[in-house]
Amino acid sequence: MAMLQISNRLQTRLFGLVGVLDEVIHQERAIPGVHCAVAAEFEELVRELVRCAVLADREAGATWATIGEPLGISAEAARHRYGHVRLIWPPPRNPDEEPESESS
């Protein structure tokens, strides 16, 4: 259930970023720094997605070698990087973030 909620949260964030990016692309003159801000948010979203994928794969019984291979790292590097990752759900709320509705 938590993985589904995480997926929904990631999808909501992604749609929000796509909307911002769409606005930026269609402006004649973009706000300085907005491109990097959007790219950085996508980068954080991808890191969060990888952490969730590692958790799901480990829960499914994947070895560290199996996890590390598509990430381009060794089993030992995967274990070192992600072995401490635990699911904290719901995540701590960002004070600047609007509360999510119960339907999301």
Length of the chain: 104
Q: Does position 9 have pLDDT exceeding 80, yes or no?
A: no
Q: Which residue has the higher pLDDT, 77 or 13?
A: 77
Domain spans of the chain? 2-82
Do 71 and 33 form a contact (C-beta atoms < 8 A)?
Answer: no
Q: In this structure, how many other beta carbons lie within 10 angstroms of the beta carbon of residue 102?
A: 5
Q: What pLDDT does residue 3 have?
A: 66
Q: What pLDDT does residue 79 have?
A: 96
Q: What pLDDT does residue 104 have?
A: 45
d(CA 88, CA 90): 6
Q: Report the mean per-residue pLDDT for the chain.
A: 79
Do 10 and 48 form a contact (C-beta atoms < 8 A)?
Answer: yes
Tokens encoding 53:
């994928």
Per residue in 34-75, pLDDT (tens digit) is: 778 877 887 888 888 888 889 889 989 999 999 999 999 999
